[in-house]
Structure 1
């Protein structure tokens, strides 16, 4: 079992207290009006985590939820052949761990920080009580869950019949548009992502992803470094991801 409270750093990684961040509108916190958001943010305890900390582990029976305030985490699952498959990325404004809180079943994924993270840790009892008492928060949480399921379905549909280069371009375009920081004609993905993780997201073998990345670099759409990806031209990447028939 993971005791996430032990991940609170004692040194300079700890953040100064803040009450609000610039959360993206599609996120749970970014989409809530001020009053229900304030009611949600008094729940639980403020916690801080350093990079590469496991907050939840697949198959564990912990049932707290984390309201992410700042930073990025990744959700991974274990494949039958023992590899870690990257399932999703969540950032400040998002809710993590609500599935286990709602149905009391084991964790469906392992959640790991991609850098320093600030969050509020809320017990299952307090979380469910809040949903029962506050219809506006319950509606926002329900919409957040539905959005995650819709995205998972769209991911499967978008990949049907596509070659590796197209699938990879779609993955990178989605990551840049959802989690990237705009920079001129492109965007910077400011959290570490490995090529094996890109391969699992694209549903392809790692050598095939290496080849596809090389093609995107040569086209001028992206540039890569150690565990980093920068989209140099979003319009060009979009053209690679969704070519005209």
Structure 2
């Protein structure tokens, strides 16, 4: 067994050459030469599920370049609840805002399963972006994409009832992060009903009612901290009836 096979057997993750980073991510949007240079920075780190990688309010400034796995980004709401702000996958970068402006962390980042990443100091990361204009441009594009996504999220939810907002959140999560299963997809990473409520801008009772309706219609099957979408086409019709 060679080193790559041993790594696969030990972690269950894919070897480097099989990583299929999304084109919208920092790594996925770079050319091979720039990607290789970026991946020489820092140290490779493995994190277990549920590990807090970055904590809101901390005055740390390292950057994590996600190679494999999935993390959730949360922020503390005024009522004390943790609001789910975003999900990031392999190919994405997290912690870049603190690296750029030197301010305390604006959110908490938690591993939703085993995560492999490169941890890069602020000094090394900024030096790289100064030396490599294409990497700097790709970083700017990812930041802008995140801002656009946040704006679209707000606009899309304006004027919708709670059930429609829940359906739209589930459809987005299934299409973006779900694993295809038959006519649907499974969202395997742990998502709680309070987190779903914050994403949908709805109360927990409203989320529970919406999930019951979707389950009765044979569209979704809620599980313990996971959700399976049984019929993506039908979920799309419910989420976007005007299409």
Q: TM-score range by the shorter chain?
A: over 0.9
How far 1:181 sits from its partner (Å)?
1.5
2:225 aligned residue: 227
Q: Secondary structure at the match of 1:22?
A: coil
Q: Secondary structure at the match of 1:31?
A: coil
Pairing partner for 2:154 from 131, 153, 156 = 156
- In 2, the alpha carbon distance for the partners of 1:224 and 1:181 equals 15
- In 2, the alpha carbon distance for the partners of 1:62 and 1:224 equals 37
Alignment of 1:116 onto 2:147: no
- In 2, the alpha carbon distance for the partners of 1:13 and 1:81 equals 42
| TM-score normalized with structure 1 length | 0.92
Q: Secondary structure at the match of 2:91?
A: coil
How far 1:178 sits from its partner (Å)?
1.0
Q: Secondary structure at the match of 2:59?
A: coil
Pairing partner for 1:19 from 9, 16, 21 = 16
Q: Superposed, which structure 2 residues align to 1:155-234 within 5 Å?
A: 155-234=153-232
Alignment of 1:139 onto 2:137: yes
- In 2, the alpha carbon distance for the partners of 1:17 and 1:86 equals 27
2:241 aligned residue: 243
Are the aligned partners of 1:14 and 1:49 in contact in 2 as well (CA < 8 Å)?
Answer: no
How far 1:189 sits from its partner (Å)?
1.2
1:36 aligned residue: 34
Q: CA RMSD in A?
A: 1.6
How far 1:19 sits from its partner (Å)?
2.9
- In 1, the alpha carbon distance for the partners of 2:10 and 2:35 equals 26
1:49 aligned residue: 47
How far 1:16 sits from its partner (Å)?
7.7
- In 2, the alpha carbon distance for the partners of 1:217 and 1:208 equals 14
1:6 aligned residue: none
Are the aligned partners of 1:13 and 1:116 in contact in 2 as well (CA < 8 Å)?
Answer: no
Q: Secondary structure at the match of 2:71?
A: strand
| TM-score normalized with structure 2 length | 0.92
How far 1:25 sits from its partner (Å)?
2.1
**Structure 1 stretches (4+) deviating beyond 2 angstroms?**
12-20
Return 5+ residue gaps in structure 1 as ranges.
1-11
- In 2, the alpha carbon distance for the partners of 1:214 and 1:147 equals 33
Return 5+ residue gaps in structure 2 as ranges.
1-8
Pairing partner for 1:105 from 103, 106, 111 = 103
How far 1:18 sits from its partner (Å)?
4.0
- In 2, the alpha carbon distance for the partners of 1:109 and 1:155 equals 18
- In 2, the alpha carbon distance for the partners of 1:185 and 1:92 equals 25
Paired positions, count? 234
How far 1:13 sits from its partner (Å)?
7.5
